[in-house]
Structure 1
Amino acid sequence: MTPEEQQKIKINLQEIAEILYKNTPVDNLQSFESVELSVREHLIETVAPEISGFFFTRRGEKVRVEKEP
């Protein structure tokens, strides 16, 4: 990964973190444990499905993986 790519990732992750923070209940920001659990929940429910879609391809086309209920 180039330094430019690393910087781009850092900037985008900061923007994402701001969005996720705004969408986290205040009660979940009271302790390290509750913050960690909230971050994990956001990663599992929001971030991972979007990222994993880039790793699953069929005939060169991106395939969106729908999360199960």
Structure 2
Amino acid sequence: MPIIINLDVMLAKRKMQSKELAEAIDITLANLSILKTGKAKAIKLSTLEKICEVLQCQPGDLLEFIPEK
């Protein structure tokens, strides 16, 4: 998939564990793991907004487009 989710990078920069973020944005650790591994087919804008709010970042810090060759 050409959209890469850099959630693990932002978590490391903020020195936050996945469990802490999941609790802060009120989603299950399993669903957060799906996002982190790039297996998610979609993400709600409200979820993205909560992640950005907690991690104090912009959506562009989390999402990256890499075209397929």
Same fold per TM (> 0.5)? Answer: no
TM-score, length-normalised on structure 2?
0.27
Q: Is the helix fraction higher in 1 or 2?
A: 1
- Greater RCO, 1 or 2 (C-alpha within 8 Å, sep 6+): 2
Higher alpha-carbon Rg: 1
TM-score, length-normalised on structure 1?
0.27
